[in-house]
Amino acid sequence: MQTAPGLGSYNAEFAKEIQEDADQVFQSADIDGNGEIDRDELRSHIGRSFANYSPEAIDQIFSSIDVNSDGTITKEEWRDAFASSSALRQAIGEGPNYK
C-alpha cells in the first residue's frame, strides 16, 4: 500500500511517467526554448488548451509553481509541481502517459 500512487511513495514506474509527462508539457510551454517558462508562456500554453481559465487563475497557477518567486518556472520546479499535484497533471492533460 505504501507504493500505491497517492497513498505513499510513488513506485519507480509511476514517477518515471510523471517526469516524462512533465518534460513533454514543459517543452511545449517553453515557447522560446530558453529552458524556463515565464508568465506569458504559461498563459499562452494554457490558453491553447483551456480557454476558460481566467488570467487570475493562470497567475495563481504560475505563482504556485514558481516556488522561488523569480518570475520564471524552471524544469525542476515544473517537475516538482507535476509530482506533487495530481490536480495540475489533470488540468494540463498532456504527455505520453496521460490517461
Is the residue at 16 inside a domain?
A: yes
Cβ–Cβ under 8 Å, residues 7 and 84: no
Tell whether 79 is covered by a domain. yes
Q: Name the grid cell of 33.
A: 526554448
Domain span holding position 81: 12-92
6 belongs to a structural domain: no
- Report if residue 2 sits inside a domain: no
Whether 63 is in a domain gets the answer: yes
Q: Provide the pLDDT for residue 1.
A: 45
Query: Which whole number is the average pLDDT over 58-66?
Result: 93
CATH number (domain holding residue 82): 1.10.238.10
Q: Does residue 5 sit within a domain?
A: no
What pTM value is reported for the model?
Answer: 0.78
**Domain count of the fold of the chain:** 1
Q: Is residue 37 part of a domain?
A: yes
Within a domain: residue 98?
A: no
Q: What is the DSSP letter of 71?
A: S
Lowest-pLDDT choice from 7-11, 29-33, 34-38, 43-47: 7-11
